[in-house]
Amino acid sequence: MRDVAKAAAVSLKTVSRVVNDEGGVRPETAARVHEAIVTLGFRRNDMARVLRQGRSSGTLGLVIEDVANPFYSDITRAVERVARSRGYLVIAGSSDEDPERERDLVRTLCERRVEGLLIVPAGDDHRFLLPDLHVGMAVVFMDRPPGGIQADTILIDNVDGARQATEHLLAHGHRRIGMVGDLPRIFTAVERHQGYAETMKDAGIGVDEQLIKLGPHDVAAAETASRELLGLSDPPTAIFAGNNRNTIGALRAIQATGSRAALIGFDDFELADMLATPVSVVTHSPAKMGRQAAELLCRRLAGDKAPPQRIRLPVSLVPRGSGEVPP
Amino acid sequence: MRDVAKAAAVSLKTVSRVVNDEGGVRPETAARVHEAIVTLGFRRNDMARVLRQGRSSGTLGLVIEDVANPFYSDITRAVERVARSRGYLVIAGSSDEDPERERDLVRTLCERRVEGLLIVPAGDDHRFLLPDLHVGMAVVFMDRPPGGIQADTILIDNVDGARQATEHLLAHGHRRIGMVGDLPRIFTAVERHQGYAETMKDAGIGVDEQLIKLGPHDVAAAETASRELLGLSDPPTAIFAGNNRNTIGALRAIQATGSRAALIGFDDFELADMLATPVSVVTHSPAKMGRQAAELLCRRLAGDKAPPQRIRLPVSLVPRGSGEVPP
DNA sequence: TTGAAAGCGCTAACAT
DNA sequence: ATGTTAGCGCTTTCAA
């Protein structure tokens, strides 16, 4: 900028005025400045600008597990849309479900002075965020609640979804219903398991622990677990899969073993309706969750001081065939 | 930091030493400083740090079309992996295939002083980047080449892929082969069309323009276009689909109309092997492209001054059934 | 309409 | 082992 000022034979401040369209500059002067800018290939340094202005960086931080999972890429997309409309840029990072990595990412993002943070938590203790919260950092949690702190949180109704799925299978005559779900340290896996177990108990059937596989976090592991279920001497006649990875794993197991077990998955996924037996799912909108979270964050950044909210987004069952297969 | 210094009754520089693990500080002093840091919830301001050090921001910019498309989320994931291993953070933005938006994004990223840029270009004129390139900005293009400038570029072998697909269909006896592809202003669509058209001509069949639909950019449009093809009085017996969105659209059209047209798609996609008729595809690795591009970018940032490279990644045909359906 | 000086939070270079 | 000073590139404040 100093170089531009020199080249245009004006003061630093005048260049600043031109660059920021502040007005109060004679057109001819402005023209000279513009020319110098083009000649020198000048780009305003946003870091210096932000530093001086004291305001934060115009960026939001996003911490998810893995962009390559459609659930998270849908969220990312929605967050980016909202951010863009408000003039923010998004710095996203994947925690890979590792609490330490999550903490690292958050620290780095805070050091970069993001204005707000959207987090799908991996860990269960977020007190390390307290100092930042006190300094005015806005944080909204998605899909899972934070541990040890109060903060805005957008969840989906996992228990209800699992209940709907299980009741649907019961209504179609199933009694031996298995479940394949994510790691039991993951909030959604626990809630979905809870919804399933409650419903089984309410139906007077109870839970056969043999039929429950909590742990598979990717498609391959879910397929293995599902094969184990289907290979039992008294196998389940239906499987409830706890998330999109688990559903696809279960689907592969069912197809590979030639089983005709019924299947309902949590999370919708592309082509679910196009498979040989279209897959019934509990559906909801990751994009909506991302949008709502980002909008809430922006409201906080705009000064909304209302007490932290906890929102539950509804889910619904989409019967497509696989959940209606009889025992 | 000043507050921390005051609280610990030391100088600014001592705090800086502690925060940056520079050593040369008595353990007791360091302890006092650490205590003050915790009490005050201090977080080093990375913008000031970067500003002072003159080095850039430790961030890479990534411009893609849309994270929600698995092709791009795979790239994003791979880029993030490499970036993380080198200590970089990634700021990603979606251009939505809009050249103006692409330019805006690039400008903003440059103002934020990203150290390097990875771009899947939307526009066809990137001369606006020349000033930044001269100032030492490193840029690597992915999937499509830049317009009007020389820069590192990682592409896939589109012509060869289209040729393989078309030859495969010809080998299975098809003569009326249709193509559904993306907007003709998109480089990959043009190359894939070229590969298809050349192969048809080489086979002595030539191209029937009626059978070619270049334009559909999402699944719905691709389905409509494919339905039109299948509805012709003399419809194609096979369809070559130019990318993952088009393949899924074509698939939906084929299934909905009850057609038994053969289908080969460019880009692999999840569950392609699980469909009623498993889908044959031309496969390649978006993740590999992202990784290579990011690694190349990092080499450039590390000082590699070799002339700009243009790399073509190979593709291969995966027959799964849909491409082997006879006419 | 224009400019000079001070300072954002930090670190490099040089004291002590 | 610790402190002082200057300055990164910009904007704010005040003066001309």
CA-CA distance, A165 to A317, in Å (whole number)?
7
∠ Cα B78 B82 B83 (to 5°): 110
Q: Is the pLDDT of residue B55 over 80?
A: no
∠ Cα A310 A315 A317 (to 5°): 165
pLDDT number for residue A326? 97
B71 Cα distance to chain centroid: 7
Q: Which of residues 123-152 of A touch B (CB under 8 A)?
A: 130-132, 134-135
Nearest to residue B67, comparing CAs of A243, A78, A97? A78
pTM of the model: 0.94
Nearest to A111 among B44, B66, B276 (CB): B44
φ, ψ for residue A310, nearest 5 deg: -125, 115
Report H helices in A144-186.
158-171
Query: Token match 């003061």: residue?
Result: A11
Q: Is the pLDDT of residue B56 over 80?
A: no
User: Within 7 Å: CB of B277 and strand C?
Assistant: no
Can you point out the beta strands (E) in B78-169? 89-94, 116-119, 138-142, 152-156
In chain B, count H helices and then E strands: 12, 12
- Least confident segment among A153-162, B4-13, B175-184, B234-243: B4-13
User: Within 7 Å: CB of A291 and strand C?
Assistant: no
Q: Is the pLDDT of residue A56 over 80?
A: no
Residues 42-61 of B with CB under 7 A from strand C: 42-45, 48-49, 51-53
Query: Token match 């949008």: residue?
Result: A291
pLDDT number for residue A134? 87
User: Within 7 Å: CB of A14 and strand C?
Assistant: yes
- For residue A294, the surrounding DSSP H or E stretch is helix A286-301
Can you point out the beta strands (E) in chain A? 59-64, 89-94, 116-119, 138-142, 152-156, 177-181, 212-214, 238-241, 262-266, 280-283, 310-313, 316-318
Q: Which residue is nearest to nucleotide D8 (CA to C1')?
A: B52
Q: Is the pLDDT of residue B53 over 90?
A: no
User: Within 7 Å: CB of A6 and strand D?
Assistant: no
Model confidence at B72, in pLDDT bands (50, 70, 90)?
very high
pLDDT number for residue A23? 84
pLDDT number for residue A239? 98
- A80 at the B interface (CB within 8 A)? yes
pLDDT number for residue A53? 87
CA-CA distance, A218 to A65, in Å (whole number)?
12
**Segment B254-280 mean pLDDT:** 97
pLDDT number for residue A194? 98
pLDDT single digits (tens) A85-108: 999 999 999 999 999 999 999 999
Cβ distance B276 to A271 less than 8 Å, yes or no, reads no
pLDDT number for residue A136? 86
Cβ distance B113 to A73 less than 8 Å, yes or no, reads no
User: Which nucleotide minimizes the distance between its C1' and the CA of B24?
Assistant: D1
∠ Cα A166 A170 A173 (to 5°): 150
pLDDT single digits (tens) A7-49: 999 999 999 999 999 888 999 999 999 999 999 989 999 989 9
pLDDT number for residue A144? 98
Model confidence at B200, in pLDDT bands (50, 70, 90)?
very high
Question: What nucleotides of chain C have any atom within 7 angstroms of a protein Cβ?
Answer: 1-5, 7-13
Q: Which of residues 267-296 of A touch B (CB under 8 A)?
A: 270-271, 274-276
Nearest to A47 among B50, B77, B108 (CB): B50
Nearest to B43 among A51, A76, A111 (CB): A111
Q: Percent of chain B, pLDDT > 90? A: 91
pLDDT single digits (tens) A215-258: 999 999 999 999 999 999 999 999 999 999 999 999 999 999 99
Model confidence at B49, in pLDDT bands (50, 70, 90)?
very high
**Contact (Cβ atoms closer than 8 angstroms) between residue B22 and residue B46:** no
Chain B nearest C-alpha distance from A113 (Å): 7
pLDDT single digits (tens) B85-117: 999 999 999 999 999 999 999 999 999 989 999
Q: Are strands B316-318 and B238-241 parallel, antiparallel or unpaired?
A: unpaired
Q: Which residue is nearest to nucleotide D11 (CA to C1')?
A: A52
Q: Per the structure block, which two tokens stand in for B8? A: 């610990």
pLDDT single digits (tens) B213-261: 999 999 999 999 999 999 999 999 999 999 999 999 999 999 999 999 9
CA-CA distance, B203 to A187, in Å (whole number)?
58
CA-CA distance, B114 to B91, in Å (whole number)?
8
User: Within 7 Å: CB of A52 and strand D?
Assistant: yes
pLDDT single digits (tens) B152-170: 999 999 999 999 999 999 9
Cβ distance A77 to B68 less than 8 Å, yes or no, reads yes
**Contact (Cβ atoms closer than 8 angstroms) between residue A244 and residue A71:** yes
CA-CA distance, B187 to B185, in Å (whole number)?
6
User: Within 7 Å: CB of A3 and strand D?
Assistant: no
pLDDT single digits (tens) A102-139: 999 999 999 998 999 999 999 999 999 998 998 889 99
Q: Are strands B59-64 and A316-318 parallel, antiparallel or unpaired?
A: unpaired
